[in-house]
Structure 1
Amino acid sequence: MMAMQYSFVLPADYDMEIITRRIRDKGHLLDGFPHLRFKAYLFADRKDGDIEGTDNLYAPFYLWDAPQGADQFLTGPGFNAVSRDFGRPSVQTWIGWHAELGRDLSQARYASRDIRPIAPDSDLQALRSKSIVDARNALKHDDALASLTAFDPTGWNALRFCLWQSPPEHSCEDTQLYRVGYVALP
């Protein structure tokens, strides 16, 4: 399992309706894409009162069953169009530890993402075990639809990503919140 995300920081005066229209018109094109568990079309509008942040963002997030799906997407026409329209982004990738996918992901309206450094002296097996328990427990929250955990051994960071029906409570100032415009599913 592999998680992937790229992000575009857009100008402060950018018309975010362009992004929501793009998602509305093209989101369904990834439904049924090979090896895709889901693609969450994420965005943040700096004027949105439910999303605390200072930037306008377009930041799709993917969960793949196998890296072949990511390869097929990144070398295909969809990513080529995004790169043409916004510039080729750096693509963050994480090796999946665990994913809890609950009931209908198409009901997701918000997402949260935490990326935290893994200390050099960390016990990685213990960290993975705790992350898995945390992912499972997240789905006990009424509004939680998905929770996954993964890590990046290149930069030694741990990822926690969740999909929600309502704006989530968050205690970490480093948590990035997003609106979900669409969720593409297998």
Structure 2
Amino acid sequence: MIAMQYSFTLPADYDMGIIDRRIAEKGHLLDNYPHLRFKAYLSARRTDATRSRDNLYAPFYLWDDVEGLNNFLGGDGFAGVSGAFGRPQVKSWFVWQAFVSPDVSQAAFATREIAPVDASIPLGERRKQESGRVLRDGEDNGILASVAGFEPATWTVVRFRLWAAEQPEQADEATRIYRVGHMSLPK
């Protein structure tokens, strides 16, 4: 599996209703998309519970394989997003472990943390730690999905969670909180 995210930072006075309408009108287009485990349509506002410093549109994807990712990035949907907002930097991570609840469509909030990989800990040990965290997350009724992945160019891990309700985690440079506008899922 491969996790992927891109993000658009929007002006402070941007009408985020535009993003909400875009998600409402286009979100269903990736429902049942081949090789897609889920797409979480994410946004954050400077003025709401996400406690974001910026207005953001930042969808997060969990792909079964690279074929789905390549088909999406080379297709009309991504061309449309790029045409509307500019071509973004696309972050991707090799997934070490993922948990997706059957109730994931009920996700209301998401958190995403990017953390450096400490060189003093063997990578295999770090993978076990992160995978164990995901498995423990699967036992928490409030967590509807959890993903841990690794990016070797920057030696970072991603910890992504989808929540049924708002979480008290503090948004900072490493952790972002988002609202979920739509979940695209397989049937």
Normalising by the residue count of structure 2, what TM-score does the alignment of the two structures yield?
Answer: 0.96
Deviations 1:77-124 (CA, angstroms, capped at 9, x unpaired): 000000000000000000000101113211001000000011233211
Partner of 2:180: 180
- Residue 107 in 1 paired to residue 106 in 2? yes
- Residue 87 in 1 paired to residue 109 in 2? no
Which stretch shows the higher mean deviation, 58-67 or 170-179? 170-179
- Residue 144 in 1 paired to residue 159 in 2? no
Partner of 1:97: 96
Using the TM superposition, give the Cα deviation of residue 172 of structure 1 relative to its aligned residue in structure 2, in angstroms. Answer: 7.1
Deviations 1:33-60 (CA, angstroms, capped at 9, x unpaired): 1100000000001111x21111000000
**Runs of 4+ displaced beyond 3 Å:** none
Distance of 1:119 and 1:28 partners within structure 2:
40
Partner of 1:44: 44
Deviations 1:124-158 (CA, angstroms, capped at 9, x unpaired): 11111111110111122221100010000011001
Distance of 2:154 and 2:171 partners within structure 1:
20
- Residue 62 in 1 paired to residue 61 in 2? yes
Partner of 2:167: 168
Q: Kindly indicate whether the alpha-carbon contact (under 8 Å) linking 2:150 and 2:158 is maintained by their aligned counterparts in 1.
A: yes
Aligned length, in residue pairs:
185
Distance of 1:144 and 1:164 partners within structure 2:
5
State, as a whole percentage, how many aligned pairs show the same letter.
49
Distance of 1:171 and 1:128 partners within structure 2:
24
Q: Kindly indicate whether the alpha-carbon contact (under 8 Å) linking 2:45 and 2:54 is maintained by their aligned counterparts in 1.
A: yes
Distance of 1:42 and 1:96 partners within structure 2:
20
1:24/1:172 Cα in 2 relative to 1: closer, same or farther (>3 Å)? closer
- Letter in structure 1 aligned against 2:41: Y
Distance of 1:171 and 1:52 partners within structure 2:
8
Deviations 1:1-33 (CA, angstroms, capped at 9, x unpaired): 000000000000000000011001100100111
Deviations 1:157-177 (CA, angstroms, capped at 9, x unpaired): 011000001111326732100
- Letter in structure 2 aligned against 1:151: F
Superposition RMSD on alpha carbons, in Å?
1.1
For structure 1, list consecutive stretches of 5 or more residues without a partner in the other structure: none
Distance of 1:172 and 1:76 partners within structure 2:
33
